[in-house]
Structure 1
Protein backbone atom coordinates (compact mmCIF):
# COMPACT_ATOMS: atom_id res chain seq x y z
CA UNK A 1 0.00 0.00 0.00
CA UNK A 2 1.45 3.37 -0.94
CA UNK A 3 1.22 6.44 1.34
CA UNK A 4 -1.81 8.65 1.02
CA UNK A 5 -0.90 11.88 -0.79
CA UNK A 6 -1.74 15.17 0.84
CA UNK A 7 -5.17 16.43 -0.26
CA UNK A 8 -4.83 18.98 -3.05
CA UNK A 9 -6.71 21.61 -1.03
CA UNK A 10 -4.54 21.17 2.10
CA UNK A 11 -1.77 23.71 2.63
CA UNK A 12 1.66 22.40 1.82
CA UNK A 13 4.04 21.55 4.67
CA UNK A 14 6.67 24.14 5.61
CA UNK A 15 9.81 24.26 3.45
CA UNK A 16 12.20 21.35 3.89
CA UNK A 17 9.56 18.82 4.95
CA UNK A 18 9.21 15.74 2.75
CA UNK A 19 6.61 13.00 2.72
CA UNK A 20 7.66 10.24 5.12
CA UNK A 21 7.46 6.79 3.57
CA UNK A 22 7.67 4.85 6.86
CA UNK A 23 5.30 3.58 9.51
CA UNK A 24 3.64 0.69 7.76
CA UNK A 25 0.06 0.42 6.52
CA UNK A 26 -1.49 2.04 9.60
CA UNK A 27 0.38 5.34 9.22
CA UNK A 28 0.05 5.26 5.43
CA UNK A 29 -3.72 5.33 5.87
CA UNK A 30 -3.73 7.77 8.81
CA UNK A 31 -1.04 10.21 7.65
CA UNK A 32 0.40 11.70 5.65
CA UNK A 33 3.39 12.35 7.88
CA UNK A 34 6.31 14.54 6.91
CA UNK A 35 9.93 14.75 8.07
CA UNK A 36 12.73 17.29 7.82
CA UNK A 37 16.29 16.37 8.64
CA UNK A 38 18.59 19.00 10.11
CA UNK A 39 21.87 17.11 10.37
CA UNK A 40 21.29 14.35 12.92
CA UNK A 41 18.05 15.95 14.17
CA UNK A 42 14.69 15.02 12.66
CA UNK A 43 11.56 17.18 12.79
CA UNK A 44 8.28 15.41 12.25
CA UNK A 45 5.12 17.02 10.86
CA UNK A 46 1.43 16.51 10.14
CA UNK A 47 -1.24 18.85 8.76
CA UNK A 48 -4.34 18.27 10.92
CA UNK A 49 -7.18 17.26 8.60
CA UNK A 50 -10.87 16.71 9.35
CA UNK A 51 -10.34 12.94 9.46
CA UNK A 52 -7.79 13.40 12.28
CA UNK A 53 -10.22 15.37 14.47
CA UNK A 54 -12.65 14.59 17.25
CA UNK A 55 -16.21 16.03 17.22
CA UNK A 56 -14.88 19.33 18.62
CA UNK A 57 -12.68 19.96 15.56
CA UNK A 58 -9.37 19.32 17.32
CA UNK A 59 -6.84 16.57 16.81
CA UNK A 60 -8.08 13.30 18.33
CA UNK A 61 -5.95 12.17 21.28
CA UNK A 62 -5.44 8.79 19.63
CA UNK A 63 -4.01 10.46 16.53
CA UNK A 64 -1.68 12.51 18.72
CA UNK A 65 -0.57 9.27 20.39
CA UNK A 66 0.08 7.69 16.98
CA UNK A 67 2.05 10.76 15.89
CA UNK A 68 4.15 10.63 19.07
CA UNK A 69 4.64 6.87 18.74
CA UNK A 70 6.26 7.52 15.36
CA UNK A 71 8.08 10.70 16.42
CA UNK A 72 10.26 9.28 19.19
CA UNK A 73 11.63 6.18 17.44
CA UNK A 74 12.19 8.07 14.18
CA UNK A 75 13.97 10.88 16.03
CA UNK A 76 16.49 8.49 17.59
CA UNK A 77 16.76 5.88 14.81
CA UNK A 78 19.89 7.34 13.26
CA UNK A 79 21.76 7.75 16.55
CA UNK A 80 25.06 5.87 16.79
CA UNK A 81 25.33 2.78 18.97
CA UNK A 82 22.87 -0.05 19.51
CA UNK A 83 19.87 1.96 18.24
CA UNK A 84 21.10 2.69 14.71
CA UNK A 85 19.21 0.78 12.05
CA UNK A 86 16.96 -1.22 14.40
CA UNK A 87 13.19 -1.50 14.71
CA UNK A 88 12.10 0.11 18.01
CA UNK A 89 8.79 -1.34 19.22
CA UNK A 90 7.09 0.64 21.97
CA UNK A 91 7.18 -0.61 25.55
CA UNK A 92 5.76 2.50 27.21
CA UNK A 93 4.50 5.87 25.94
CA UNK A 94 3.45 8.77 28.19
CA UNK A 95 1.80 11.87 26.79
CA UNK A 96 0.88 15.11 28.52
CA UNK A 97 -1.68 16.97 26.41
CA UNK A 98 -0.84 20.65 26.91
CA UNK A 99 -3.12 22.47 24.44
CA UNK A 100 -5.53 21.68 21.60
CA UNK A 101 -4.33 21.12 18.03
CA UNK A 102 -7.08 22.62 15.86
CA UNK A 103 -8.19 21.57 12.41
CA UNK A 104 -5.79 22.89 9.76
CA UNK A 105 -2.86 23.51 12.10
CA UNK A 106 0.67 22.33 11.36
CA UNK A 107 1.70 19.80 13.99
CA UNK A 108 5.46 19.58 14.44
CA UNK A 109 7.50 17.45 16.81
CA UNK A 110 11.07 16.95 17.86
CA UNK A 111 12.56 14.16 19.92
CA UNK A 112 15.79 13.30 21.63
CA UNK A 113 17.53 10.21 22.86
CA UNK A 114 17.94 10.27 26.63
CA UNK A 115 19.68 6.93 27.08
CA UNK A 116 20.23 3.68 25.23
CA UNK A 117 21.18 0.42 26.92
CA UNK A 118 21.93 -2.88 25.19
CA UNK A 119 18.21 -3.61 24.89
CA UNK A 120 16.21 -0.43 25.66
CA UNK A 121 15.91 3.16 24.44
CA UNK A 122 14.60 6.07 26.52
CA UNK A 123 13.47 9.16 24.61
CA UNK A 124 11.47 12.34 25.05
CA UNK A 125 9.91 14.90 22.75
CA UNK A 126 7.82 18.01 22.36
CA UNK A 127 5.01 18.62 19.86
CA UNK A 128 3.70 22.04 18.83
CA UNK A 129 0.59 23.12 16.93
CA UNK A 130 1.36 26.19 14.81
CA UNK A 131 4.21 26.95 17.22
CA UNK A 132 2.25 26.48 20.47
CA UNK A 133 3.40 23.54 22.62
CA UNK A 134 0.54 21.02 22.65
CA UNK A 135 2.06 17.73 23.85
CA UNK A 136 5.02 16.51 25.85
CA UNK A 137 5.93 12.87 25.33
CA UNK A 138 8.35 10.32 26.72
CA UNK A 139 8.76 6.68 25.90
CA UNK A 140 10.67 3.47 26.36
CA UNK A 141 11.39 1.30 23.33
CA UNK A 142 12.86 -2.16 22.85
CA UNK A 143 15.84 -2.43 20.54
CA UNK A 144 14.40 -4.89 18.05
CA UNK A 145 15.70 -6.61 14.94
CA UNK A 146 17.58 -4.72 12.22
CA UNK A 147 15.36 -2.81 9.81
CA UNK A 148 15.16 -4.10 6.23
CA UNK A 149 17.68 -2.69 3.76
CA UNK A 150 14.89 -0.96 1.87
CA UNK A 151 13.66 0.98 4.95
CA UNK A 152 13.43 4.67 3.99
CA UNK A 153 12.53 6.33 7.29
Structure 2
Protein backbone atom coordinates (compact mmCIF):
# COMPACT_ATOMS: atom_id res chain seq x y z
CA UNK A 1 0.00 0.00 0.00
CA UNK A 2 1.41 3.39 -1.00
CA UNK A 3 2.23 5.82 1.77
CA UNK A 4 3.18 8.59 -0.68
CA UNK A 5 1.48 11.91 -0.01
CA UNK A 6 0.85 13.90 -3.22
CA UNK A 7 2.93 17.01 -3.84
CA UNK A 8 1.78 20.20 -2.14
CA UNK A 9 0.02 18.51 0.79
CA UNK A 10 1.26 19.11 4.33
CA UNK A 11 0.17 17.64 7.64
CA UNK A 12 -2.95 19.46 8.84
CA UNK A 13 -2.01 20.81 12.25
CA UNK A 14 -4.29 22.03 15.00
CA UNK A 15 -6.69 19.09 14.97
CA UNK A 16 -7.74 17.62 18.29
CA UNK A 17 -10.45 15.45 19.73
CA UNK A 18 -12.46 13.04 17.58
CA UNK A 19 -11.08 14.18 14.23
CA UNK A 20 -7.53 13.55 15.47
CA UNK A 21 -8.39 9.85 15.83
CA UNK A 22 -9.47 9.63 12.17
CA UNK A 23 -6.37 11.12 10.54
CA UNK A 24 -3.74 11.82 9.69
CA UNK A 25 -5.22 14.58 7.54
CA UNK A 26 -3.26 16.63 5.03
CA UNK A 27 -4.05 19.95 3.39
CA UNK A 28 -2.97 22.13 0.52
CA UNK A 29 -4.36 25.38 -0.80
CA UNK A 30 -4.94 26.38 -4.39
CA UNK A 31 -6.35 29.72 -5.50
CA UNK A 32 -7.72 30.52 -2.04
CA UNK A 33 -9.35 27.12 -1.58
CA UNK A 34 -8.45 24.49 1.00
CA UNK A 35 -8.16 20.89 -0.18
CA UNK A 36 -7.97 18.12 2.41
CA UNK A 37 -6.37 14.74 1.77
CA UNK A 38 -6.17 11.39 3.51
CA UNK A 39 -4.52 8.07 2.66
CA UNK A 40 -7.19 5.41 3.40
CA UNK A 41 -5.70 2.99 5.93
CA UNK A 42 -7.00 -0.30 7.29
CA UNK A 43 -8.39 1.46 10.37
CA UNK A 44 -10.58 3.66 8.11
CA UNK A 45 -12.16 0.63 6.37
CA UNK A 46 -15.07 -1.70 6.89
CA UNK A 47 -15.02 -5.49 6.52
CA UNK A 48 -15.01 -5.15 2.69
CA UNK A 49 -11.71 -3.19 2.75
CA UNK A 50 -13.37 0.01 1.56
CA UNK A 51 -13.47 3.27 3.45
CA UNK A 52 -16.26 3.17 6.03
CA UNK A 53 -19.23 5.44 5.29
CA UNK A 54 -18.89 7.12 8.68
CA UNK A 55 -15.27 7.95 7.86
CA UNK A 56 -16.30 9.46 4.53
CA UNK A 57 -18.93 11.54 6.32
CA UNK A 58 -16.40 12.73 8.92
CA UNK A 59 -13.92 13.66 6.21
CA UNK A 60 -16.63 15.48 4.22
CA UNK A 61 -17.73 17.36 7.34
CA UNK A 62 -14.15 18.57 7.82
CA UNK A 63 -13.85 19.47 4.14
CA UNK A 64 -17.10 21.46 4.19
CA UNK A 65 -16.06 23.45 7.26
CA UNK A 66 -12.41 24.04 6.40
CA UNK A 67 -13.15 24.65 2.73
CA UNK A 68 -15.90 27.13 3.58
CA UNK A 69 -13.72 28.94 6.08
CA UNK A 70 -10.96 29.41 3.53
CA UNK A 71 -13.18 30.39 0.61
CA UNK A 72 -15.21 32.95 2.60
CA UNK A 73 -12.27 34.12 4.75
CA UNK A 74 -14.44 33.75 7.85
CA UNK A 75 -11.83 33.50 10.59
CA UNK A 76 -13.88 31.32 12.92
CA UNK A 77 -14.68 27.65 13.45
CA UNK A 78 -17.86 26.86 11.52
CA UNK A 79 -20.01 24.25 13.26
CA UNK A 80 -22.14 22.15 10.91
CA UNK A 81 -25.88 22.51 11.45
CA UNK A 82 -26.95 20.29 8.54
CA UNK A 83 -25.24 17.86 6.20
CA UNK A 84 -26.66 15.54 3.56
CA UNK A 85 -24.62 13.11 1.53
CA UNK A 86 -24.53 10.58 -1.27
CA UNK A 87 -22.27 7.56 -1.47
CA UNK A 88 -21.31 7.44 -5.15
CA UNK A 89 -18.67 4.68 -5.32
CA UNK A 90 -16.36 2.75 -2.97
CA UNK A 91 -13.07 4.28 -1.78
CA UNK A 92 -10.70 1.28 -1.54
CA UNK A 93 -8.03 0.60 1.04
CA UNK A 94 -4.82 2.47 0.11
CA UNK A 95 -6.43 5.11 -2.10
CA UNK A 96 -5.72 8.82 -1.79
CA UNK A 97 -8.94 10.52 -0.66
CA UNK A 98 -9.22 14.19 -1.54
CA UNK A 99 -11.95 16.76 -0.92
CA UNK A 100 -12.92 20.04 -2.57
CA UNK A 101 -15.53 22.54 -1.42
CA UNK A 102 -17.67 25.02 -3.33
CA UNK A 103 -19.44 27.74 -1.36
CA UNK A 104 -22.90 28.32 -2.80
CA UNK A 105 -24.03 31.22 -0.62
CA UNK A 106 -23.02 33.12 2.49
CA UNK A 107 -25.50 34.99 4.66
CA UNK A 108 -24.89 36.90 7.86
CA UNK A 109 -25.30 33.75 9.98
CA UNK A 110 -24.79 30.76 7.66
CA UNK A 111 -22.73 29.34 4.82
CA UNK A 112 -24.22 26.91 2.29
CA UNK A 113 -21.67 24.69 0.55
CA UNK A 114 -21.11 21.46 -1.34
CA UNK A 115 -18.12 19.17 -1.51
CA UNK A 116 -16.93 16.28 -3.61
CA UNK A 117 -14.59 13.56 -2.42
CA UNK A 118 -12.44 11.66 -4.88
CA UNK A 119 -10.44 8.45 -4.43
CA UNK A 120 -7.42 8.42 -6.73
CA UNK A 121 -9.21 10.99 -8.89
CA UNK A 122 -12.59 9.19 -9.15
CA UNK A 123 -15.66 10.73 -7.46
CA UNK A 124 -16.80 8.56 -4.54
CA UNK A 125 -18.91 10.87 -2.35
CA UNK A 126 -20.81 14.13 -2.50
CA UNK A 127 -22.19 16.24 0.33
CA UNK A 128 -23.96 19.50 0.95
CA UNK A 129 -23.87 21.32 4.21
CA UNK A 130 -24.95 24.36 6.14
CA UNK A 131 -22.43 25.84 8.55
CA UNK A 132 -23.25 28.37 11.25
CA UNK A 133 -21.17 31.52 11.45
CA UNK A 134 -20.78 32.18 15.17
CA UNK A 135 -21.65 35.68 16.40
CA UNK A 136 -19.12 38.10 17.82
CA UNK A 137 -20.20 37.44 21.41
CA UNK A 138 -18.38 35.33 23.96
CA UNK A 139 -19.17 32.02 22.27
CA UNK A 140 -16.70 29.17 22.57
CA UNK A 141 -16.25 28.94 18.77
CA UNK A 142 -15.03 32.52 18.32
CA UNK A 143 -11.43 31.80 19.32
CA UNK A 144 -10.90 28.73 17.12
CA UNK A 145 -9.12 29.69 13.92
CA UNK A 146 -7.70 27.09 11.55
CA UNK A 147 -4.14 27.51 10.27
CA UNK A 148 -3.75 29.24 6.90
CA UNK A 149 -1.40 27.94 4.25
CA UNK A 150 -0.55 28.97 0.73
Common topology (TM > 0.5): yes
Poorly superposed stretches of 4+, deviation over 4 Å:
none
Aligned ranges 1:18-97 → 2 under 5 Å: 18-80=10-72, 84-97=74-87
Aligned partners of 2:68, 2:34: CA distance in 1, in Å?
Answer: 8
Q: Which residue in the other structure is 1:152 paired with?
A: 147
Deviation at 1:65, TM superposition (A): 0.5
Q: CA RMSD in A?
A: 1.7
User: Would the aligned equivalents of 1:23 and 1:70 in 2 still touch at CA under 8 Å?
Assistant: no
SS at match of 1:147: coil
Q: Which among 110, 114, 118 is matched to residue 124 of structure 1?
A: 114
**Structure 2: tracts of 5 or more residues without a match:** 135-140
Using the size of structure 1 for normalisation, the TM-score is 0.86
**Structure 1: tracts of 5 or more residues without a match:** 1-8
Using the size of structure 2 for normalisation, the TM-score is 0.88
SS at match of 1:101: coil
